[in-house]
A and B are shown apart, each in its own frame.
Chain A
Amino acid sequence: MTLTQRVRPIVLRILFLLGIIGPGLITASAGNDAPGIATYSMAGSFYGYGLLWVLLWAALGAVVLLEMAARMGAVTGKGLTELIRERFGVRVTVFIMVSLVLANLGTTTAQFAGIAASAELFGVTRYLVVPVAAFAVWFLVLRGSYERVEKVLLSLTLYAVAYIITVFLVRPPWGEVLQRTIVPTVRLEPDYLLALLATVGTTVTPWSCAYMQASVADKGVTGVEYPYTRLDVLLGLVLSSLVAAFIVISAAVTLFANGIRVETAKQAALALAPLAGPWARQLFGIGLFGASLLAASVLPLATTYAVCEVFGWERGINHTADEAPIFYGLYTSLIVLSSIVVLIPGIPLFPLMWLSQVLNAILLPLVMAFMLRLANDTGIMKKWRNSRLTNVLAAVLAAVITLATAALLAEALF
């Protein structure tokens, strides 16, 4: 038997496996965009394994909420914002949309901060890169040539796999990791509470629910085919949460254990040092750049589209700016505002990336309240109403977020 004959079955098996988990893995690692990477690196470097239990519950919350959103999309064929408008009227819709736009403005800012931070890893000033990136995003997406760039950016985000390999290289104490994941430990300090909220906020966002429901509704998934969609949602989330957990663990082992608290991208990159050695900075920089640019290209347009859709304004890039002034105005403002924030001299990029996610967490219970009312409405959901378990889990998630928010406010006030 020659060497190639011996190797071929192994290669085939790996290719087969990649074929199955490939698309999911890419989606999962792309989900860990700039704010995600920043939050998980920060969490691991400041608190070691201390926030892993939060990640577990946040991921569980994400499963519950996204499943609920996907189910509503499949049963009604309508988006979340559309359902809210039809059921609760204009005022509630305006309130929800303003929240979503603010949260997404924060997240887009975080993406531009990620672009700036990755450029600075290579010694390029943010005052050059951010305006260029902002213009490129604005222009490419409006011209519709975004498609060509998308695949390149998606493949760049695969660098998140490096975290998984790193963790297996450094051999963390798995027993302790498991124990800290399952047994919650709470510290009533403002910094810890902020980190907790950011971890929740980057794992499950109101926007991801709206986006999930809209994409299921658009695809025309019906109640009968829904089990496949549910499996898809579940697998994607398990994968992305695993990647997230591996980022936390590698940051805990390489940074927390050595007393490094991540304040900059340069420090965050060190988490990959056991694998990439001196190239850790380059690996981290390229991956962060890809993930940030990808999200920065999608988020402003998708947000603008959702707003215009629910209020019935002309929308879409096949209209001119004269026909759809609000569409173009909002889209441009989102990009301009978020890139300007990043350019404020002396603004700390890395904290900006993860702090933006606290807003997402705080807004989540508000949106959840309406989601729960819709998902329990027999008139809308028919026999696909929420199960009691779903309601209880969602209520627990909302309660945890609300308690953490309240504790944070109390700390700040007294």
Chain B
Amino acid sequence: MTTYLSHILGKPVWDEEGQRLGRCVDLLAAEVETGFPSIQAIAVKDGRETRLIAAEFVAWLTPSIILNTSDPPAYEPRGDELWLARQVLDRQIVDTEGRRLVRVNDLQLTRISINGIHFRLAGVDVGTLGLLRRLGVEGLAATVLKILHRQPPEAVIPWRDVAPLQADEPIRLRVSLEKISEFHPADIADIIEELDRPTGQALLQTLDTETIADTMQEIEPELQASMLRTLPPERAADVLEEMDPDDAADLLADLTPTRRAKLLELMEDEDATDVQKLLTYPEDTAGGIMTTEFATIPSGLTVGQALDYLRQSEAAHEDEALFYVYVLDKMQKLQGVIALRELVLSAPHVAVQDIMEADVITVDPLRPQKEIAHLVAKYNLLAVPVVDAQDVMQGIVTVDDAIDAIIPTAWKKRLPRVF
């Protein structure tokens, strides 16, 4: 038998002898990390006073709340209970199956009568039907739907598939985090963007450094800086090291000069140098969006030697995508490019020189981002090398960074503040 929290809240509570004790204002659930948390107690408000009554003294929750005693002792909270009306209802909660943030419109409860009577929390109603139930027009809505021959849309998510988030409750947050940290960083970023700031920050801080870095790269640029500020400086520097140098540089550019200098100081020298170089270019040029991590091989190798070389090369390991391998001469000048696919599929003894593309499409560091986007689209490239006036290779712009320029950002950021 199922019922809903909205049917219970505000209802009068009667004892065994028909004496009215007050109104039910909340339910307390325990073992909330399980799939079916049990209801431990109900909160009853009489006038200004609120008291807790243990669930074992509650005989019925619906259609009326009736106790099985006339003198219920007070329930002593253990401290780990979840107050369903105060802490869950109307709050945002993560749907771990759908990987999205939803708002709790109602809570579904079940009554189980094995070894006595228990009430358990079964699911979270996030649908419009839940809203209508809260407004007390559920019956009306059902009639309208019946006339229209439509099934009422069910939108109840089982409790085991949700993760409640509340910044002020670290213990509970950790349980939810175990589920959330499995998400793709882009999904985590979406959730953090939509959450209120304190909760979003608390969520981010509890992730491991690598996940923070990956998530950071997916968050709106305006928000990245404020998120980074909430991390302790050492941790922030670690995150910046893990991020792609171009993203790290963009993020650092949004910080105050003193803070930027401090974080660069804390970063490992090698990463800091890369980022510092990128910081000197304007944000919407090749130099501003390129990454300095790309795979190269010296000229004069055979395919077999080239692949061996790549396995040993630190730069190749750092290259996130490794679409192309660039052939450089001793002066670091770009000689040609070869797709990794071709390298792998060719016979080992073939000279790279013979199969590489020597006529490489390159851009200079100050080339505007928009032009690169069109270049990438026109020639179907996955990455474009950035070379300086001496043909020395500086970095690569990958397709995802290039096309950011022509894909509109979220509309919200574009609305002017005119009201």
Interface residues of A (CB under 8 A from B): 27, 30-31, 33, 76-78, 82, 85-86, 89-91, 94, 141, 144-147, 150, 154, 205, 207-208, 211-212, 215, 217-222, 294-295, 298-299, 301-302, 305, 310-313, 316-318
Shortest Cβ distance from A263 into chain B, in angstroms?
A: 27
Instruction: List the one stretch of B53-61, B219-227, B331-339, B391-399 in contact with chain A.
Output: B219-227
With A298-B416, A312-B103 as known contacts, state yes or no: A77 contacts B90, CB within 8 Å: no
B272 located at the interface, meaning its Cβ lies under 8 Å from any Cβ of chain A in the complex: no
B411 located at the interface, meaning its Cβ lies under 8 Å from any Cβ of chain A in the complex: yes
Cα(A396)–Cα(B417), bound, Å: 27
The reply to whether A205 and B102 contact each other, CB–CB distance below 8 Å, is no
The reply to whether A154 and B417 contact each other, CB–CB distance below 8 Å, is no
The reply to whether A312 and B91 contact each other, CB–CB distance below 8 Å, is no
Shortest Cβ distance from A276 into chain B, in angstroms?
A: 24
The reply to whether B416 and A317 contact each other, CB–CB distance below 8 Å, is no
SS class, residues of chain A in contact with chain B: helix
The reply to whether A220 and B223 contact each other, CB–CB distance below 8 Å, is yes
Other contacts beyond A90-B131, A219-B222, A301-B411: 6, CB < 8 A: A141-B411, A150-B414, A207-B419, A311-B103, A311-B131, A312-B126
Query: Of all chain A residues, which has the CB nearest B200?
Result: A77
Cα(A345)–Cα(B226), bound, Å: 52
User: For residues 116 through 169 of chain B, which have their beta carbon under 8 Å from a beta carbon of chain A?
Assistant: 126, 128, 131, 134-135
B196 located at the interface, meaning its Cβ lies under 8 Å from any Cβ of chain A in the complex: yes
Cβ-neighbour of A208 out of B89, B102, B226, B419 (below 8 A): B419
Shortest Cβ distance from B203 into chain A, in angstroms?
A: 12
The reply to whether B226 and A222 contact each other, CB–CB distance below 8 Å, is yes
Query: Of all chain B residues, which has the CB nearest A89?
Result: B90
Cα(A85)–Cα(B226), bound, Å: 26
Cα(A22)–Cα(B418), bound, Å: 14
Cα(A82)–Cα(B195), bound, Å: 11
Cβ-neighbour of B134 out of A89, A222, A295 (below 8 A): A89
Chain B residues within an 8 Å CB radius of A298: 415-416, 418-419
Chain A residues within an 8 Å CB radius of B419: 31, 205, 207-208, 211, 295, 298-299
With A89-B134, A312-B126 as known contacts, state yes or no: A76 contacts B198, CB within 8 Å: yes
Chain A residues within an 8 Å CB radius of B417: 27, 211-212, 215
Shortest Cβ distance from B88 into chain A, in angstroms?
A: 11
The reply to whether B90 and A33 contact each other, CB–CB distance below 8 Å, is no
Cβ-neighbour of A90 out of B90, B222, B408, B415 (below 8 A): B90
B48 located at the interface, meaning its Cβ lies under 8 Å from any Cβ of chain A in the complex: no
Cβ-neighbour of B418 out of A141, A219, A295, A317 (below 8 A): A295
The reply to whether A144 and B408 contact each other, CB–CB distance below 8 Å, is yes
B197 located at the interface, meaning its Cβ lies under 8 Å from any Cβ of chain A in the complex: yes
* Residue among B91, B135, B223, B415 with max Cβ neighbours from chain A (10 Å): B415
Cβ-neighbour of A86 out of B90, B226, B410, B418 (below 8 A): B90
Interface string of B294-334 (1 = CB under 8 A from A): 00000000000000000000000000000000000000000
The reply to whether A220 and B226 contact each other, CB–CB distance below 8 Å, is yes
